[in-house]
Each structure stands twice: as C-alpha cells, then as structure tokens.
Amino acid sequence: MELLVGTTNSGKLTEVEAALKGLPVKVIPLKQLATWPEIIEDGKTYEENALKKARALAAFSGFVTLADDSGLEVEALSGAPGVHSARYSGGDADDARNNEKLLSALAGVPQERRGARFVCVIALVSPILNGGGEWIFHGSCEGWIAFEPGGKNGFGYDPLFFYPPLGRTFGEIDRQTKERYSHRGKALAKLKQAFPSVLQGITNP
C-alpha cells in the first residue's frame, strides 16, 4: 500500500518510516509531490488539525494519507503552547525561537511547577476512491521542562523536555530510544498494531 505522509518535517518523516518498517507500506514523502494544497491548522484540538490535514491531502493526492498534530502542554502555562506549539513564537517560528520563548515564559518557575507532557494525534484517511475510512491514534508522555537545553538530537522542544524515567531530555537520547517512549512513538505503535484491520478496511470497503 502506498502511504502519503503529510509532513515536511524531516524528523517526523524519519520517525514514521522507522515505526512502519516491516509493514506492507511504501511511504511517499509529501515533498515527493509536485505540489500540494496549503492547509491552515486552525482547529481547536489536535484531532481537528490532524484530520483536516489528512482529509485534504488524501482528497488532493488520491493516496491513503497519514497526518499528525502534536504539541507540548506545560502545567505552569495552563496547557500552553498546546495546539499552537509549532507556531508558539509567531509566524516565522522555528525550533530555536520556540524554545527561547518557552524558557522565557518559565523564567523563575521552580521544577515542581514545570511539569509538561507531549501529546500526539495521528489521523489516517483513505480517500473516497479507496472506499473512504478514517482512523485516529493517540499517544502522550509525561515529563518536565528543563532549565536549559540538553542535547542536540531530535527536533522541536526535545532539548527542553526532560523525561524522568531515562533521566535525560529527549534531545539527549537516540532516535531508537525516543521511539519507544515518545508521544509520537506510542501513537505510531498503536497504528502499527491496528494496521491489519486498517488494511482490511481499505482494501475491502
């Protein structure tokens, strides 16, 4: 089965490809398409954003499409940045600016109030020509926000997300270890477990 992965984030693409290894799937990166529609992620929830992306790209391309929305929820910030995590520092946001803004927002906040969790929602959508069908998979992991970046692995807020069971930030662990514990890794594991029934639903609508 050909599967379009609806992201231009190379880190996310790598994680998806690794998680689905061994399945009867040929991953098609979004950048392999000549063009694709611009999708405004204006949903109020991760589910809304993930489904909006997957539905639009499946309809446009004709491929079964996987898209995700994920975010970081910080206790001291009442759950922010949440669904706005990728654009936390504005329209020209990048990882460095987002991390700087987060550290600034938490300046002076003690460790006991720096609790945080990563959340990921993956949407898998089969286009109408394939019989339609939508599936949702959730994953999350708990940690806290470090006082300074640690490590250069991963992407996004990984250098600031301290994961107590490993005693390190996600930026300090290798990709394979992160896949076992991360929010996206957990959501992808659920997708992989459900894949036989998903594939049956796609091939025999």
> Can you tell me the mean pLDDT for 50-65?
95
Instruction: Name the burial class of residue 116, with classes exposed (0-12), middle (13-18) and buried (19+) by CB atoms within 10 angstroms of its CB.
Output: buried
Domains of the chain: 2-203 (3.90.950.10)
151-177 tens-digit pLDDT: 999 899 999 999 999 999 999 999 889
Going along the chain, which residue ranges are E strands? 2-5, 26-29, 64-74, 115-125, 134-145, 161-163, 168-169
The whole-number pLDDT of residue 196 equals: 82
1-10 tens-digit pLDDT: 899 999 998 8
Catalytic residue (choose from 42, 69, 94, 158): 69
Count CA atoms within 13 Å of residue 59 on its CB side: 9
Q: Which of 203, 184, 196, 187 is closest to 126 using CA atoms?
A: 203
Determine the Cα–Cα distance for residues 196 and 192; give it in Å rounded to an integer: 8
Active site residue 94: no
Map residue 112 onto helix, strand or coil. helix
Name the average pLDDT for the chain.
93
176-189 tens-digit pLDDT: 899 899 999 999 99
- The pTM of the full predicted model, rounded to 2 decimals, is 0.91
